[in-house]
Amino acid sequence: MKESASYPKSAPAMPQNPLLADVSDPTLAQVLRRPTCELAQATRPAFLRNEQSPVQWSPRDWEQLDANRKDIFDMSAVEAQFDDGCFLRDGGAVLREVMTPKAVEAWTEALKYGQQLNDRLLTSDWGKIDWECLGRTPPTKSLTADEIDNALGGSQKVPQSDDEAGVKTLRQHSVFAEYFPAGHVPFLMNVLTHPQMLQLQRMCLGSDEIYFDHNQLLTRLPGYPGGAWHSHRIGGGADNCGVASLSEYQAQPNFNLTLCYPQGFEAGDDGGLKIIRGSHLFRDPAGCRAATDEEMQEGWLASRVHPTTSEPLQIEYLSLPPGSIVCCLSHAAHAVAPKALGREPRWCSLYCYKKASDVSSHIQPPHSVPPVWAMKAQRGELPAVLTELFRPSYDKELTGGRTDDAQP
Ligand SMILES: O=C(O)CCC(=O)C(=O)O
Ligand SMILES: [Fe+2]
């Protein structure tokens, strides 16, 4: 590969899951040997001014989390709306108004605070970051004022086609609060580990053993142009391999995207989610893509019906009251409507959990567990529930030797 003249030769990038990979580069290996408190500190530069960051919690803080837990869901409302047969057949479930009123409030505040932390990083001096502790030489390039301006207030907007400015490094280590916000905001960590959230995951995935995959903020600001139709690979040899029966589908190492909208959204131009029930069974993340609804309707959808019900497949434009959640198997097609100017931001946090393959018992490595959390889990520094949820980030036996999420 050509090396840019202005980019000093530096250590290779940290692998996606460094505890599953063989890290021979001495600079990177050194990062993985540090006490986790040092790495945690490097991921929370002083300018973030976040005293409450769960990545820096003491055992007492974790005990308090457990001791002070309140319901986040009205489980009777969840159970009334959830049907496991429908979930497997549709590839998703829409759960309206299932958060408790207090959770709606706390969740909304948590997402706003997470966004503030993300913006604080964008507008701070990255020269003050301890890059060496994060495993790389200080970047010689910075984001431009326009790039920063464009990224403020929203999600998935920081340019990261390469790591020249250090964005990928800051993403992987969750210095950006939008990637793994549960490590920055106590309420979001409460949700990640909450028995009611874990119960919901067991219901969706049809498995007692569930694991964590990734967590993001998904804030859509007025002026957001919308998100194209797509679905996500699950790896494990279960992508782009033809239509599955329901029982074959259930046996796969499935991922459940859990999209939480404490303020909901309207259909139309409010940044809402669009889904296509039944699309997951085609297992076609490579082909099931389209820039617009028309392209989706005239292309991928036109020639297909639901493989088990023979019903036509159609786009569903969701409209959700506050306190709603959408669970979506990651092969299911989804897209996001634009957000008109003059509307309020759309607040959302994504929690993705997964199950093992029933055939091999293996679990796919996570898309995004920051190294410091994998290290804490491996070293027994976390509560048992998190140690287990994060197990695929450090347990090579469980992942069958796989090191990244896309491996078959
Ligand atoms: O913003 C949303 O509602 C969904 C985003 C999404 O599909 C994704 O991040 O993969
Ligand atoms: Fe998506």
Domain count, the chain: 1
199 in a domain, yes or no? yes
Can you say how many angstroms the Cα of residue 222 is from the centroid of all Cα atoms in its chain?
22
405 in a domain, yes or no? no
Count other C-beta atoms under 10 Å from residue 247's C-beta.
Answer: 9
Q: Both tokens of residue 42?
A: 């490097």
Which residues are within 8 A (CB) of 63 and not within 5 positions of it... i.e. 6 or more apart?
none
To test ligand 1's pocket by mutation, which of 115, 214, 218, 229 has the most ligand atoms within 8 angstroms of CB? 218
Q: Write down the residue that tokens 């709606």 correspond to.
A: 104
* Residues 364/399, Cβ–Cβ less than 8 Å: yes
* Residues 288/332, Cβ–Cβ less than 8 Å: no
30 in a domain, yes or no? yes
407 in a domain, yes or no? no
- For residue 334, the ligand 1 atom closest to its alpha carbon is 7
Residue 63 domain boundaries: 26-393
Q: Both tokens of residue 320?
A: 């959700």
252 in a domain, yes or no? yes
31 in a domain, yes or no? yes
Predicted model pTM: 0.96
Q: What is the DSSP string of 101-114?
A: HHHHHHHHHHHHHH
What's the count of helices (H) and strands (E) in the chain, helices before strands?
14, 9
To test ligand 1's pocket by mutation, which of 325, 331, 334 has the most ligand atoms within 8 angstroms of CB? 334
Distance CA 373, CA 391 (A): 10
9 in a domain, yes or no? no
155 in a domain, yes or no? yes
User: Residues near ligand 1 with C-beta < 6 Å?
Assistant: 218, 227, 259, 273, 334, 336, 348
We report the CATH number of the domain holding residue 115 as 2.60.120.620
CA of 32 to the centre of ligand 1 (A): 31
Q: Tens digit of pLDDT per residue, the chain (408 long)?
A: 344 444 445 568 999 999 999 999 999 999 999 999 999 999 999 999 999 999 999 999 999 999 999 999 999 999 999 999 999 999 999 999 999 999 999 999 999 999 999 999 999 999 999 999 999 999 999 999 999 999 999 999 999 989 999 999 999 999 999 999 999 999 999 999 999 999 999 999 999 999 999 999 999 999 999 999 999 999 999 999 999 999 999 999 999 999 999 999 999 999 999 999 999 999 999 999 999 999 999 999 999 999 999 999 999 999 999 999 999 999 999 999 999 999 999 999 999 999 999 999 999 999 999 999 999 999 999 999 999 999 999 999 999 999 998 888
